[in-house]
């Protein structure tokens, strides 16, 4: 860890309560924060109740750390508690990112894929299960992407426009809500806004990937930080041939700096769902998720 690093402790608790016993449960987890140039996972553990289970660790297609759980003992409650200690390195400010290439040139460089970095970026050019490409999305993006405008300047403008034009509404959408409906309804949650921005960028021919993780929330002045009051979050990474992948958060109209903790990235939400699986039995179920992000030092 260097002098400019910021350290956080993250606790993510997921609990399923079932109407009747589950006889077999298989779960696939993206709950281990990813280590990369701007983030180091210093420690991580996952506690599972009931404790009689099998577990294995691995990596997915995108290089994200994963864990598979198999529970074969009957149970009516499944509790998965992930604890991580993460340090974040200082990210460049928008002033330090000046001089990015015009967006049309950035698009053409990626599509020619003449270097390992641009070849890797082509994974994120196309439609994916939750991100369709369309003329409507391109039309929405066009006011930000004027001819010759630097790609990162245009991406920040699109980030700010989505924040201004769309209202956060947890009741307006579901996981399967298509982007066409999000665009017309102008409501949604962080997942919707991230996938909307990705759809706009890819419809212009620019690679963009979906980031899953956490964001530090700030209590009101004079109020204590509440345990379990934080939440999972989603944002966007845009590829710039000069600077590499640069992250933007349309839910908070910002260039990502020191308060976003990355679990992993993929084409959209379906690639990096924090926890998903199948069960035998159980009947009706209730889900409760608690996230606590605590700054250290």
Does the pLDDT value for residue 99 go beyond 70? yes
At 222 the pLDDT is 73
| Mean pLDDT (whole number) for 267-284 | 96
Does the pLDDT value for residue 273 go beyond 80? yes
CATH code of residue 63: 2.60.40.2250
Do residues 39 and 102 share a domain? no
At 118 the pLDDT is 93
At 3 the pLDDT is 57
Do residues 70 and 107 share a domain? no
At 217 the pLDDT is 85
At 225 the pLDDT is 60
Predicted confidence (pLDDT) per residue in 104-134, tens digit: 999 999 999 889 999 999 999 999 999 999 9
DSSP symbols for the chain: --TT-EEEEEEEEEEEEEEEEEEEEEEEE--SPPPBTTEEEEEEEEEEES---EEEEEE-TTS-EEEEEEE-S-EEEEEEEEEEEEEEPPPPPTGGGTTPPBHHHHHHHHHHT-SHHHHHHGGGSS-BTTB---HHHHHHHTTTS-TT-BHHHHHHHHHHHHHHH-EE-TTS--TT--HHHHHHHTEE-HHHHHHHHHHHHHHTT--EEEEEEEE---PPTTPPPPTTBB-EEEEEEEEETTTEEEEEETTTTEE--SSEEEEEEESSGGGS-SEEEEEEE--SEEEEEEEEEEEE-
Do residues 70 and 111 share a domain? no
**Domain span at 242:** 95-271
The answer to whether residue 176 is domain-embedded is yes
Mean pLDDT of the chain: 94
Does the pLDDT value for residue 194 go beyond 90? yes
At 192 the pLDDT is 97
Do residues 64 and 103 share a domain? no
The total domain count for the chain is 2
At 230 the pLDDT is 78
Do residues 81 and 177 share a domain? no
Percent of the chain clearing pLDDT 90 (strictly above): 88
At 224 the pLDDT is 65
Do residues 83 and 169 share a domain? no
Predicted confidence (pLDDT) per residue in 55-94, tens digit: 999 999 999 999 999 999 999 999 999 999 999 999 999 9
The answer to whether residue 286 is domain-embedded is yes
Do residues 29 and 82 share a domain? yes
The answer to whether residue 223 is domain-embedded is yes
Predicted confidence (pLDDT) per residue in 123-180, tens digit: 999 999 999 999 999 999 999 999 999 999 999 999 999 999 999 999 999 989 999 9
Predicted confidence (pLDDT) per residue in 222-254, tens digit: 776 655 457 799 999 999 998 999 999 999 999
Does the pLDDT value for residue 214 go beyond 60? yes
The answer to whether residue 1 is domain-embedded is no
Do residues 118 and 244 share a domain? yes
At 26 the pLDDT is 97
Do residues 257 and 121 share a domain? yes
pTM equals: 0.94
CATH code of residue 112: 3.10.620.30
At 52 the pLDDT is 85
Q: Kindly indicate the confidence band of residue 221, based on its pLDDT and cuts at 50, 70 and 90.
A: confident
Do residues 72 and 152 share a domain? no
| Mean pLDDT (whole number) for 40-53 | 95
| Mean pLDDT (whole number) for 189-194 | 96
Does the pLDDT value for residue 291 go beyond 70? yes
Do residues 264 and 156 share a domain? yes
Percent of the chain clearing pLDDT 70 (strictly above): 97
At 226 the pLDDT is 55
Do residues 191 and 48 share a domain? no
């Amino acid at each position: 860890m260097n002098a400019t690093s910021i350290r956080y402790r993250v606790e993510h608790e997921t609990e399923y309560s079932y109407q009747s016993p589950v006889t077999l449960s298989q779960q696939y987890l993206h709950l281990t924060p990813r280590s990369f140039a701007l983030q180091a996972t210093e420690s991580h553990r996952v506690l599972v109740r009931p404790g009689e289970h099998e577990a294995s660790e691995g990596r997915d297609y995108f290089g994200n750390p994963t864990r598979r759980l198999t529970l074969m003992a009957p149970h009516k409650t499944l509790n998965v508690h992930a604890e991580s200690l993460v340090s974040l390195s200082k990210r460049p400010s928008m002033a330090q990112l000046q001089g990015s290439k015009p967006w049309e040139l950035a698009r053409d460089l990626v599509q020619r894929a003449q270097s390992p970095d641009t070849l890797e970026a082509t994974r994120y050019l196309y439609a994916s299960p939750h991100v369709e490409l369309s003329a409507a999305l391109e039309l929405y993006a066009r006011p930000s992407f004027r001819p010759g405008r630097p790609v990162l300047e245009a991406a920040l403008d699109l980030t700010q426009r989505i924040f201004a034009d769309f209202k956060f509404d947890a009741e307006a959408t579901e996981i399967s809500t298509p982007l066409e409906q999000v665009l017309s309804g102008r409501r949604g949650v962080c997942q919707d806004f991230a996938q909307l921005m990705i759809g706009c960028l890819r419809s212009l021919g620019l690679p963009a990937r979906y980031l899953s993780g956490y964001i530090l929330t700030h209590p009101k002045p004079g109020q204590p930080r509440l345990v379990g009051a934080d939440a999972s979050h989603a944002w966007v990474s845009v590829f710039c041939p000069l600077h590499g992948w640069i992250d933007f958060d349309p839910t908070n109209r910002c260039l990502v700096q020191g308060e976003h903790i990355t679990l992993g990235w993929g084409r959209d939400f379906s690639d990096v769902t924090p926890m998903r699986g199948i069960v035998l039995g159980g009947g009706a179920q209730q889900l409760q998720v608690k996230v606590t992000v605590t700054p250290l030092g």
